[in-house]
Structure formats: C-alpha cells, structure tokens
Structure 1
Amino acid sequence: MYALRISPGISVELASCAVQFRIMETVWKLVVLLCYCFSINFNIPVAAQSESQTASDSYDYTHQWYAKLFLDLYYNTDFNKAVPPLQNGPVNVQLGFSLKDIYFFDERNKIATIYGWFEQHWTDIRIHWDPAAYNGTDRITIDSDKVWLPDIVLMDSGTVTENVDADVLVSSTGRMSRYFFLKITTVCNMDFKFFPYDKQVCSLKFSSWHHNGFVINPTQSVSTVDLSSFYPSTDFKLVQAIATRHVLKYECCPEPFIDITYRLHLERVSSAYSVKLVLPAALTGFLILATFLLPPASYEKITLCGFIFIALLLQLIYLHDIVPASGDTILGDYFAFALFVDFFATISAVVSYHMHARSASTKKSSNVMEIDDGDLKPELEHNRKRKFLQYVDFICFAVFGIVFVVGLAIILGRRG
C-alpha cells in the first residue's frame, strides 16, 4: 500500500485553519444563544400585553353599568314609590291577559279555578336616562318592591294568588312592563237551566282598588284574551273570550271608576252526560207512556210503575249530586213531573185492580145463588168506573206524551 506524506509546513497550516474554524463555530453558537435570549426577553412581555389587551377589549362590563345606572336612578333622583307618577293626567295602565287553563269547576259551589299570565304596562316619568351615558344600556330589570306599582286587583268575589316577586322591566324612556302568573279562584254566576247542555259565562273584573279614573286609567291591549297557550278543559269548551272596558259614574261622586272585564264564554262537554242522564230519562219516559197502554186492572201495570218510580228516584238523586240545590234545571223538573205521573198511574192501577177483584168475587157469588135485576147494579157501577179509569189513562198518556216530546225537543234543541 501507499502512504500519503505531507510536509511539515502544510501540516502547520492545516492545524491553524482547524483552530480558526473552531473559534468561529464557538462565536456563532454564542451569537445564536444571545439572539435566542434576547428574543425571549422582548417577545414575552409583548405577547402578554397583547393577550391582556385582547381580554380587555372582549370583557363585558354590563353589570358595572347596571350598578351605576341603578345607583343614579335611586340616589340622584327624587323618587317615591308610594306616589303615582302623575303628569298632566292619570297614569295609563295597559292590561293584558293570557289564559292558560281552566283547572277546576266546583259546580255545587259555583267556583272556578283559572290559571293565566297577566301583564301590565305603564310609564313612570320619574325614571329615565340617556343610554349613551351608560354604554348603550337602554333597559334594566328592577325588583317590584322598589318601584311604584298600579294597584289593579280582581274586584269579583274570589281569591287571587300571584307571583308577587315578579320583576319590572324598565326602559330608558320610563316605560314599565310587568309580567306575572295568576291563579284565580272566583265565583261564577252559573245557570243550570239547560243542564247538561248549558252555556256559562264567567267574568273577571279588574280595577284599581284605591284610585279612581283621575289617577289610574286602565286600558286593554286587545279586545280579546290571548289563547295562544290555552290548554282545553275536559269539562268545558271555551267558545269565546273577550275583554271589555267599562267607565262607571255615580251620582255621589264626579270621578269615573274604570274596570277591565274579561268574559269567558264556556260550553259544557255533554257527551258523557248524554249517556248518563239524557238517554235514561228518554227511555224512562217511553216506559211511562207504555204503562198507560196496559189494562187498568192488570197486575203487571203495578209492577212496572213501581220499577219506573225507583229508576226515576235514582236518576233524580244522581242529578242532585251534580247540580247544586239552587240550580233549577229542565231535566230536574222533568224528573219531578215524571215521578208525579208515575205515582198517579200506580194509584190508578191499584184502585182498578181492587175494583176488578171485588167484581170478580161478586160475579162468583152470583153464579151460586139466584140474583134479581138489582144485583146487576154493582157490576154496572164497576164497568162505569173501569171506563172512567181508562179515560184517565188516556188523558194521562196524552198529557205526559206532550210534555215528554216538548221537553225532549227543548233539551236536544239546546244541544244543537
């Protein structure tokens, strides 16, 4: 093999170049290290400052403006929540009612339980601000016990349970809005004359309790009740719900008294009562008519009249359990009249049967012994009475038939 030989001068030069290269490499590493250190020292504060500025720009200070607005409203203004905000006239209070559910009807006591949303809108001239001074805040929510509230209550006899802690939404112009849930237990003047095809009207009268029309002027937002969230009842069908404003004046006082009355027109769901009451009443009426077609002296007539009398009593008791004692109904009058007719038919059948039994015994004894013409008088008298009872049965059949047809036509006509 061959070996490479380098002169001593060349080797010294190569060693010098290697040393210089190592020095330059070391210097370059130091420069890179210094640049890295300087980049950390300068970039971290800039990044931190940028993130802080971004967080500051996106942070919401709305609650601070709410607090400042609240303090300015109640500590820098002359405000008294016990005094109505009057200015050149009464306070116009706009009312609205949204019916939710007719929960329960106590027909014996004529009490209805109603659920719904109630709203009030008015303007308080003492509460206003410039939204630009509060970062564009144009409305605020305030507790109801910190502002003046209109004393609008239910004037009809009954009780009202409401969400008294409902907040008030206040705009920068002083427009106040309050929404709260109501549970109303009120007395309705119900008419049961055409039960079970009756139609009822339940009124809810709202007015100011302490103030007349010169202080508070109630108005309605619309002429009808909001039924968008109404849940239909199983007992009554809501036909119509309207709102009416009344202005009443009395001779004693020059001030007007204003109220908003909501009238709920209801119609009973009568399908169940048609099967439980109307159909049995009609069938029982046909049976009463059938009794007058039987012979007056038949024993079966007495038995049938007795069963009909018991059936009428049971139906009348069931009707009394549903309708209050003060409720005068056509169906109740029909049952009472049918009881009287059935009782008269029973007495007539008993008397006729008794006379027929005596006539049969007299005829049997006359077959044993000889009788003269005078002995025929009791039998002739019996025949005359029997014909009279037949005429009575016919008259009762005609009268009860007319009453039965007319009463049935009235009830079914009311249904239609």
Structure 2
Amino acid sequence: MISSYLFISYLLNGLLINVSGDPIEHELLEDLFYNYTPLERPVANHKDSLRVNLKLSIQQIIDIDEKNQIMKANGWMDMKWNNYRMTWNPELYDNLTKIRIPYDRIWVPDLLLYNSASEEFDPFIHTHITVDHQGGNLYVPPGIFESTCKIDVSNFPFDQQICKLKFGIWTYTGEMVDLQVEPSSGGTDITEYMENGEWMLLDVSATRHEVQYKCCPNTFIDITFYMTLERRSMFYVVNLVIPCILNSLLTLLTFILPAQAGEKITLSITVLLAQIVFMLLVMESMPSTSDAIPLISKYFSFSLFYVCASVGATVYVLSFHYCVPELFGPMSPKMRKIFLHLMPKLLHFKKYPNGEYLCVKDPTKRLKCLCNFDVTQDLFDDEKSATGSQSTTYRDIKMLQSLHRHLRYVAHKLSGDDKWEYSRLEWQFAASVLDRLALWFFTILVFVATLSTLFAIPSINKSFYFHGHSNLNP
C-alpha cells in the first residue's frame, strides 16, 4: 500500500515538472497570442500586399519516370515573410529573440505545387515556424516533390531534360500575397544535393511569373523552378551501344567467309537472330513512350534493317556460287562484261599472268575438236603417197572410222565438260565479286550509320560545332 502511494507521488511530481516548462517563453506566447487569430493575413492594412520570399533547396533526384512523365525529388522550401503581430521587446523576456511555433497556430501562406503528380497534392511535411522578435517568420517544410515533367526521349540515352516545379499561392491573389525569389541566393540552393546515379543536375534556376487565369479576373503569382538534367549515358554505352556496334560488325564477317565453307548462311542467320534477341532485351531498358523515337531506337532499327539486308545479299551470293550451268545456262555477254571485267577492275581484284581475272582459259579457245577430221580421205592420201607399202584394206578403214567415232565422242565430252566447268567457275567468280561488293557496301553503311548516330548526340554535336568555330575564329 505504501509503495503504491510512493509510485503515485513520483508520477505526479514528474508530470508537474514536465508541465511547468519555461515561464518566460510561456509568458511570451500568452502575450503574442492574446486576441490573435491565425486566419488573419498579417498586414496592417487589408489593401497592403504581404511579401513572401521563396528559396528551394534540392537534396536528391529520386526518380524520373519517362513513361508517365513524372519527376520525383526531395528537398525543402524556405519561406520568409514578416508578421507585424509577432513582435516583442527581448529585454522584457530575458533577451529571448526566437521562438518556434506550430504551423497551425499562426498564419502561413497556402503554397502548393501547381504541377503536382502526387495523390495528396500538397508535397510538404508541415513543421514548426521560427519567429524572431522583429516579426520575421521562417518556415522550412521538407517534402517529396512529385511533379509532371515533359520528357523528350528523342536523344535517348544522350538526352537532356528540363523539369519544372511550379509553386504558387492557391487562394491569395498577387495583390494580397506577393511571391518573390529570395534575392540573396537567387531562389535556389544545391549545397546539400546528393548526386543521382542516372541523372546529373546541371542547373537550377527560379523565375517569377504573373499569370491571369481564365477562371479569375485577378493576377496570381507563381515561382517556377527549372531543373536542367542530363542523363549519365555510360551505362547505356557499355551495355547497349557497344554490343550493338560489335554485333553489326559481325555482319561484315559474312562476306569475308568464302561460300564453299558451307557456314556462310548459318553465320548470317545467327547474326540476325542475335540482333533480334538483343533488341528484345534492350527494349526493357528504353522508355516506353510514343511521343518521340529515341536515337538508339533509330540506330537499332537501322542495324536490324542492314542485318536483314545482309542475309538477303548472302542468299543472292550463294545462288551465284551454286548456280548449275547445265540447268540455267552460261552467263550472258552483258553479265560476263559486268562481273568478269568491269566490277573486278573497280574492286581491285588481282589479275593473273594471262591478263584475265580467271586463271583458267576459255576452253573454246584452246580445245580442238575432231568433228571435221575425215579418216577415209586422210588414208587415201597416205596410200597414194606411200610407195612399196601394203595397201589399206576395207576392214582397216572400218576400224579406223569406228575409232574416229569414239574419239569424236570423247572429244565432245571433254570439250563440253570443260565448257560447263569454265561456266561454273565464271558463276563462282561472279559470286566472289558480289561478296567483295557487299563487303564494301555494308562496311560503308555500318560506319555511316554509326557516325551519323554519334554526331546526332547533342553533346558531341555541340562540342564539334564550337570546336570548328573556334578554329575559324583566330
């Protein structure tokens, strides 16, 4: 029983100690809030305008959602104004010059983020207000600013974005509350800014606007903070751009591999499949928006186009290489002039000692056929010229004629085989010419596409432009 009384007495003493507080501050608060209402705008005359200075301190860029076009950042807002009702003489209150008052006990400007994308709309976490003896009010509420931001991904992943935070008084017009940019700092502060892994903050500026909306005849004032952001592109260069360029260079190996290797079309199809699979993987990292086509999407689409074109060119080359002259016939004179004389000269093919690009001569120029050889007449002439020799019998003539027929057949066969073999070599040489032509064409195409994409990057284009002009100007 005695212990319970002691416990209650200790508890009451503790409560009395906590409730007692500072009598000086208590007296000051009673004097300040005597006959005071927080609904009153703190001006001596209701026709006067109350000036409120704003300064935004950005701490971190949390996220930028390209698909929904939303920027999310955190920081705090410095609001400064003068409340003539909150003044006192520090000498009367033990030199107390500053006090902290809850925000709902005195007047505060109803500042809101106009372009808010948050469900709660009000981004601030309301805190106490610091009041000095001269009536100066300092309100520094932190908050997470989730705002709409027009994202232009046309230069992705080398893009720059300008996002804005538009703050304004919701109910008071410009004649009642005059918003101004903090003059000492220009309205912005990034001393506490923490770097973002994807975005680099280039600049923050503040601009004051006076706007007359259609709903209301009066003028409203807002302070818009512009944040210039640049995407850190190293991740995308290493994981997207370089693999895509290397995969495109594999296309050129298709035309270096000889057709008789048997893996030419396999390599070409493999490169195409790798390009398609690679594009499906990188699509997850690219912003899902249809407002603009990203720069890297243009390069991927073009690379897919010429990889598909290389597959078609490879099929065409193989159709030349494996052409069967017995079925499709020899090359026409016009094709022979183009593929065997003109294009090899332009593509710097090596000539052989015979002055031709083929080391095998045309069999029609070097083979002699026995078709016009008359065995009977030749034997008759030999019999008349021979003296003292035995005359040729009829049986010998028949045997020689039969042998002649067999020799003519063999000669025709050999001549035809050589002719078709030469024609087959012509088609194969034409295929190698097409290979060399496709190699040069796709090499130029890959380098032109890559260089065009690189010079389309704003930072590279700007540096190249200024460097060129600096060289022109002495």
Of stretches 284-293 and 269-278 in structure 1, the one that deviates more from structure 2 is: 284-293
- What one-letter code is carried by the residue in structure 2 that aligns with 1:82? L
1:144 deviates by 0.9
1:154 deviates by 0.9
Q: Do the aligned partners of residues 363 and 323 (structure 1) sit closer, same or farther apart at CA in structure 2, a change above 3 Å counting?
A: closer
Query: Tell me, what secondary structure is at the counterpart of 2:157?
Result: coil
1:312 deviates by 1.9
Q: Do the aligned partners of residues 350 and 292 (structure 1) sit closer, same or farther apart at CA in structure 2, a change above 3 Å counting?
A: same
1:359 and 2:316 matched: no
Query: What pairs up with 1:3-402 in 2 under 5 angstroms?
Result: 63-75=22-34, 77=35, 79-86=36-43, 87=45, 88-159=47-118, 160-164=122-126, 166-221=127-182, 222-223=185-186, 225-249=188-212, 254-292=217-255, 299-326=262-289, 328-359=293-324, 362=327, 395=441, 397-402=443-448
Query: Tell me, what secondary structure is at the counterpart of 2:299?
Result: helix
Identity %: 26
Q: Do the aligned partners of residues 100 and 174 (structure 1) sit closer, same or farther apart at CA in structure 2, a change above 3 Å counting?
A: same
Q: Report if aligned partners of 2:113, 2:123 keep a CA contact under 8 Å in 1.
A: no
Query: Tell me, what secondary structure is at the counterpart of 1:122?
Result: strand
Q: Report if aligned partners of 1:139, 1:171 keep a CA contact under 8 Å in 2.
A: yes
As a proportion of its length, which structure holds more strand?
1
- What one-letter code is carried by the residue in structure 1 that aligns with 2:62? Y
Q: Report if aligned partners of 1:223, 1:244 keep a CA contact under 8 Å in 2.
A: no
Of stretches 85-94 and 386-395 in structure 1, the one that deviates more from structure 2 is: 386-395
1:280 deviates by 1.2
Q: Do the aligned partners of residues 201 and 299 (structure 1) sit closer, same or farther apart at CA in structure 2, a change above 3 Å counting?
A: farther
Give ranges in structure 1 of 5+ residues lacking alignment.
Answer: 1-60
Of stretches 110-119 and 245-254 in structure 1, the one that deviates more from structure 2 is: 245-254
Q: Report if aligned partners of 1:205, 1:261 keep a CA contact under 8 Å in 2.
A: yes
Q: Do the aligned partners of residues 146 and 292 (structure 1) sit closer, same or farther apart at CA in structure 2, a change above 3 Å counting?
A: same
CA distance in 1, matches of 2:461, 2:159: 8
- What one-letter code is carried by the residue in structure 1 that aligns with 2:117? G
CA distance in 2, matches of 1:109, 1:267: 18
1:321 deviates by 0.9
CA distance in 1, matches of 2:237, 2:305: 24
Q: Do the aligned partners of residues 173 and 317 (structure 1) sit closer, same or farther apart at CA in structure 2, a change above 3 Å counting?
A: same
Aligned residue in 1 for 2:343? none
- What one-letter code is carried by the residue in structure 1 that aligns with 2:37? N
CA distance in 1, matches of 2:94, 2:450: 79
Query: Tell me, what secondary structure is at the counterpart of 1:213?
Result: coil
Q: Do the aligned partners of residues 132 and 224 (structure 1) sit closer, same or farther apart at CA in structure 2, a change above 3 Å counting?
A: closer
Query: Tell me, what secondary structure is at the counterpart of 1:158?
Result: coil
Q: Do the aligned partners of residues 289 and 259 (structure 1) sit closer, same or farther apart at CA in structure 2, a change above 3 Å counting?
A: farther
CA distance in 2, matches of 1:67, 1:94: 29
1:403 deviates by 2.3
CA distance in 2, matches of 1:279, 1:303: 23
Q: Do the aligned partners of residues 405 and 286 (structure 1) sit closer, same or farther apart at CA in structure 2, a change above 3 Å counting?
A: farther
CA distance in 2, matches of 1:346, 1:223: 60
1:297 deviates by 8.7
CA distance in 2, matches of 1:211, 1:303: 73
- What TM-score, normalized by structure 1, do the two folds share? 0.72
Q: Report if aligned partners of 2:77, 2:140 keep a CA contact under 8 Å in 1.
A: yes
How much is the aligned-residue C-alpha RMSD, in angstroms? 3.7
Q: Report if aligned partners of 2:57, 2:190 keep a CA contact under 8 Å in 1.
A: yes
1:176 deviates by 1.2
- For these two proteins, the number of residue pairs brought into alignment is 350
Q: Report if aligned partners of 1:296, 1:348 keep a CA contact under 8 Å in 2.
A: no
1:320 deviates by 1.6
Q: Report if aligned partners of 1:95, 1:219 keep a CA contact under 8 Å in 2.
A: yes
1:334 deviates by 0.9
CA distance in 1, matches of 2:258, 2:41: 84
CA distance in 1, matches of 2:237, 2:444: 26
Aligned residue in 2 for 1:406? 452
Give ranges in structure 2 of 5+ residues lacking alignment.
Answer: 1-19, 331-411, 464-474
Query: Tell me, what secondary structure is at the counterpart of 2:48?
Result: coil
C-alpha offsets along residues 305-350 of structure 1, whole Å, 9 cap, x if unaligned? Answer: 2222122223322332112221521111111111111112212322
Query: Tell me, what secondary structure is at the counterpart of 2:131?
Result: strand
Q: Report if aligned partners of 1:192, 1:323 keep a CA contact under 8 Å in 2.
A: no
- What one-letter code is carried by the residue in structure 2 that aligns with 1:404? T
Q: Which of the two has higher C-alpha Rg?
A: 1
Q: Do the aligned partners of residues 415 and 310 (structure 1) sit closer, same or farther apart at CA in structure 2, a change above 3 Å counting?
A: farther
1:385 deviates by 8.9
Of stretches 262-271 and 387-396 in structure 1, the one that deviates more from structure 2 is: 387-396
CA distance in 2, matches of 1:104, 1:247: 30
C-alpha offsets along residues 37-88 of structure 1, whole Å, 9 cap, x if unaligned? Answer: xxxxxxxxxxxxxxxxxxxxxxxx992222222222223x3x3322322434
C-alpha offsets along residues 242-298 of structure 1, whole Å, 9 cap, x if unaligned? Answer: 222222245775532221122222222222222111211222232334445667897
C-alpha offsets along residues 175-210 of structure 1, whole Å, 9 cap, x if unaligned? Answer: 211112211223322222222222222211111122
Q: Do the aligned partners of residues 339 and 242 (structure 1) sit closer, same or farther apart at CA in structure 2, a change above 3 Å counting?
A: same
1:216 deviates by 1.6
CA distance in 2, matches of 1:62, 1:133: 18
- What TM-score, normalized by structure 2, do the two folds share? 0.64
CA distance in 2, matches of 1:297, 1:338: 27
Of stretches 380-389 and 292-301 in structure 1, the one that deviates more from structure 2 is: 380-389
Q: Do the aligned partners of residues 132 and 101 (structure 1) sit closer, same or farther apart at CA in structure 2, a change above 3 Å counting?
A: same
Query: Tell me, what secondary structure is at the counterpart of 1:81?
Result: coil
